[in-house]
């Protein structure tokens, strides 16, 4: 009996004026996987994430979560169904403390005040943010803000976490903290879809990967096989077009 994937993307497309940003893209995200989504700049990766997270609606195609269509749901509706997005440009409440950012995220997802406090205390330790937890989030470094946003996404563990370049411009020590966080959550069954240009990170974290170029999928399968695909190598050597 075939197991229903956690997320199924069936022929989604998006056009901006004369530019076909995403062209009939289809793939499945199985339960419990770290799936890499890679490709040169301008290949359509972030547009796909925007459609999966409700930031954009596709012109064509359907997306399913555990067999139910979710194509035209808002980001808040998707979040309550367990589809959580982490953005490339970090989004935190800069005038509130890091700890209060976590509390707000937890309360927004339905936790009681006591549950949110307990969960936030656990996450600041796991993400090594104890020493800055009572500072305004706007005072944190870029890497600390990324770690904080990780924590906000996991106040209520989602069904799938959509991560857009979480390692970009982050100190190596914080990158290692993020990697450990992703790996430990995945070992507990958490599913991730990871967009990243950091190939060593993709190779170490992602069980499988999909490579896009000019809005289409050009390779998919085990990560090492994808990275060794001549079409992928050619896309990266000649496809940096943003």
Average pLDDT across the chain, whole number: 92
pLDDT of residue 126: 92
Q: Is the dihedral of CA 16, 240, 28, 168 positive or negative?
A: negative
pLDDT(239) > 60? no
Name the pLDDT band for 1 (thresholds 50, 70, 90): low
Structure tokens at 73: 């749901």
Instruction: Quote the pLDDT of residue 241.
Output: 40
Both tokens of 59, joined, read 């012109």
Q: Looking at 104-108, 120-124, 222-226, 235-239, which range is the least confident one?
A: 235-239
CA distance 229 to 234: 9
Helix, strand, or coil (residue 103): helix
Q: What is the pTM of this model?
A: 0.91
What are the residue ranges spanned by the domains of the chain? 7-219
Question: Looking at the predicted structure, is the pLDDT value of residue 19 above 80?
Answer: yes
CATH number of the structural domain 7-219: 3.40.50.300
Task: Give the SS3 label for residue 217.
Answer: strand
Cα distance between the two ends of the chain? 44
């Amino acid at each position: 009996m075939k197991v229903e994937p956690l997320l199924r993307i069936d022929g989604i497309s998006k056009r901006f004026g004369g530019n076909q940003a995403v062209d009939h893209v289809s793939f499945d995200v199985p339960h419990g996987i770290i799936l890499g989504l890679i490709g040169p700049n301008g290949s359509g990766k972030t547009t796909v994430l925007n459609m999966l997270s409700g930031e954009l609606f596709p012109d064509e195609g359907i997306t399913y979560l555990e067999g139910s269509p979710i194509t035209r749901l808002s980001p808040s509706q998707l979040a309550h169904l367990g589809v959580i997005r982490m953005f490339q440009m970090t989004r935190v409440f800069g005038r509130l403390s890091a700890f209060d950012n976590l509390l707000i995220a937890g309360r927004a997802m339905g936790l009681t005040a006591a549950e949110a406090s307990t969960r936030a205390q656990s996450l600041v330790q796991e993400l090594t943010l104890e020493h800055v937890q009572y500072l305004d989030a706007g005072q944190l470094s870029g890497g600390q803000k990324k770690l904080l946003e990780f924590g906000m996404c996991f106040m209520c563990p989602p069904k799938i976490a959509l991560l857009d370049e979480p390692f970009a411009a982050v100190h190596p020590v914080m990158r290692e903290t993020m990697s450990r966080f992703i790996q430990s959550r995945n070992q507990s069954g958490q599913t991730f879809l990871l967009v990243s240009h950091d190939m060593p990170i993709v190779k170490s974290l992602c069980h499988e990967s999909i490579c896009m170029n000019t809005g289409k999928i050009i390779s998919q399968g085990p990560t090492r096989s994808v990275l060794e695909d001549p079409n992928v190598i050619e896309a990266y050597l000649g496809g940096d077009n943003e």
